[in-house]
Amino acid sequence: MGKQIARAYRGRRLDVVVTMDHGFVFAADLVRQIASPLVCHFVRELVSDVKQGQHARREVFFSGARPDLKGRDVLLVDAVLDSGVTQEFLLRRLGESQPRSLRLAVLLDKPDGRRVDLEPDYFGFQTASNQMWIGYGLADGSGGGRNARSLSAKRVSASNRKGRR
């Protein structure tokens, strides 16, 4: 994937925006494979459920300084694309700064779980949305397992799928 990305940018500087807490291990390995000049920026998502009268909705915020990306080539890197809501929100925010290009790279693409019209520009693997992946920077439900060197899948029930990215 890194070689494919490097070919797409042909030696131009690339601004890589990495989502923490999920994408850091994948991003570290990916950027080492991109033979183009690059700068990394890091954002952390803050998700909260807000109740409005009878209805609850999920709000997504991102902390961290917003980089100046006007006229730049930007690659958003995340580990998992499931519902797409979080990534779509962040892509819209990054697009407000008018980059030259804006693309998305993910390790795992779960197209069956998509709730928005969003496809990654680059992905490592497509997988079923009813699987939770643990290891390689991805945590299990209790926050553990991030340090496992390889990915392992765990089947999850539909009622247990909160926090889909």
pLDDT digits (tens, 9 = 90+) for 74-125: 999 999 999 998 899 899 989 999 999 999 999 999 999 999 999 999 999 9
102, part of any domain: yes
Residues of the domain holding 114? 2-127
**pLDDT tens per residue across span 9-43:** 998 999 999 998 889 999 999 999 999 999 999 98
Of residues 15, 73, 82, 109, which has the active-site annotation?
82
Q: Looking at the domain assignment, is residue 58 inside a domain? A: yes
139 in any annotated domain: no
pLDDT score, position 61: 67
Residue 42 lies in a domain: yes
C-alpha to C-alpha distance for 150 and 157, rounded to whole angstroms:
23
73 a catalytic residue: no
Give the DSSP H or E segment for 9.
helix 2-9
pTM: 0.86
- Is 64 part of any domain? yes
Within-domain flag for 40: yes
Q: Which residue has the higher pLDDT, 39 or 156?
A: 39
85: domain CATH number is 3.40.50.2020
- Measured N-to-C along each axis, helices 24-31 and 2-9 cross at an angle, to the nearest 10 degrees, of 60
- Where is 95: in which H helix or E strand? helix 85-95
SS3 114: coil
Q: What b-and-e string marks burial along 93-108, b requiring 16 or more CB atoms within 10 Å of the CB?
A: ebeeeebeebbbbbbb
